[in-house]
Structure 1
Amino acid sequence: MSFLVIGECVADIVRAPAGSGAADRVHPGGSPANVAYGLARLGRDVTLLTQLADDPGGRLIADHLKGAGVRVEIGGVPARTPSAVVGLDAEGRATYTFDIAWTLETGAPAAEEPTHVHIGSIAAVTAPGAATVLAEVERLRDRATVSYDPNVRPELMGEHGEAVARVERCVALSDLVKASDEDLGWLYPGESPQAVAARWLALGPAVVLVTRGASGSRAVTRRETVTADAPPVTVVDTVGAGDSFMSAVLDALAERGRDALDGLGAEHLAGLLRRAGAAAAVTVSRAGALPPDRSELDAAREEFALRSGRAS
Structure 2
Amino acid sequence: MTFTAAPALVVGEALADVVVDAAGGVGRALPGGSPANVALGLGRLGHPVRLATRVGRDAHGGRLRRHLREGGVLLIPGSVTGEATSTATATLDASGAAGYTFDISWSLTAEAAAAVRSGPVAHLHTGSIAAALPPGADTVLAAVRWAAPRATVSYDPNLRPDLLGPAEGQRERVEALVAASDVVKASDEDLAWLYPGADPDATARHWATGGGPSLVVVTRGARGARAWWRSGTLEVPAPRVTVADTIGAGDAFTSALISALLDAGLLGPAPESRARLREATGRGGLPPVLGGALTLAARAAALTCTRTGADPPGRADLAL
1:261 aligns with 2:277: yes
Distance 2:319 2:196 in 1: 37
| Partner residue, 2:41 | 38
* Alpha-carbon distance, 1:16 to partner: 3.6
Q: Paired residues, what number?
A: 297
Asked if the contact 1:237/1:285 (under 8 Å) is kept, the reply is: yes
1:216 aligns with 2:235: no
Q: What residue identity is the alignment partner of 1:260?
A: R
| Partner residue, 2:102 | 98
* Alpha-carbon distance, 1:189 to partner: 1.6
* Alpha-carbon distance, 1:109 to partner: 5.6
Distance 1:279 1:233 in 2: 11
| Partner residue, 2:234 | 226
1:18 aligns with 2:23: yes
Gaps of 5+ in 1: 300-312
Relative contact order higher in (CA < 8 Å, ≥ 6 apart): 2
* Alpha-carbon distance, 1:111 to partner: 5.4
Among 5, 10, 14, which residue is 1:5 paired with?
10
Among 58, 61, 65, which residue is 1:58 paired with?
61
* Alpha-carbon distance, 1:249 to partner: 0.5
| Partner residue, 2:250 | 242
Gaps of 5+ in 2: 1-5, 267-272
| Partner residue, 2:191 | 184
Distance 1:164 1:131 in 2: 14
| Partner residue, 2:138 | 131
* Alpha-carbon distance, 1:78 to partner: 6.0
Asked if the contact 2:180/2:212 (under 8 Å) is kept, the reply is: yes
Asked if the contact 2:22/2:94 (under 8 Å) is kept, the reply is: no
Structure 1 residues 12-31: Cα deviation after superposition (integer angstroms, max 9, x where no partner): 00014437xx6522110000
Q: What residue identity is the alignment partner of 1:276?
A: A
Q: What residue identity is the alignment partner of 2:225?
A: S
> Percent of aligned pairs with the same residue?
49
Asked if the contact 1:104/1:130 (under 8 Å) is kept, the reply is: no
* Alpha-carbon distance, 1:203 to partner: 5.2
TM-score, length of structure 1 as denominator length = 0.91
Asked if the contact 1:6/1:48 (under 8 Å) is kept, the reply is: yes
TM-score, length of structure 2 as denominator length = 0.89
Asked if the contact 2:18/2:26 (under 8 Å) is kept, the reply is: no
| Partner residue, 1:68 | 71
Q: How does 1:139-218 map to 2 (within 5 A)?
A: 139-201=146-208, 202=210, 204-218=212-226
Structure 1 residues 231-250: Cα deviation after superposition (integer angstroms, max 9, x where no partner): 11111100000000000001
Distance 1:58 1:278 in 2: 30
Q: What residue identity is the alignment partner of 2:274?
A: R
* Alpha-carbon distance, 1:173 to partner: 1.0
Distance 2:197 2:294 in 1: 25
Q: CA RMSD in A?
A: 1.6
1:295 match: secondary structure: coil
Range 52-61 or range 266-275, more displaced: 266-275
* Alpha-carbon distance, 1:130 to partner: 1.0
Structure 1 residues 79-100: Cα deviation after superposition (integer angstroms, max 9, x where no partner): 2111011100000000001000
Asked if the contact 1:16/1:25 (under 8 Å) is kept, the reply is: no
* Alpha-carbon distance, 1:113 to partner: 2.5
Asked if the contact 2:130/2:136 (under 8 Å) is kept, the reply is: yes
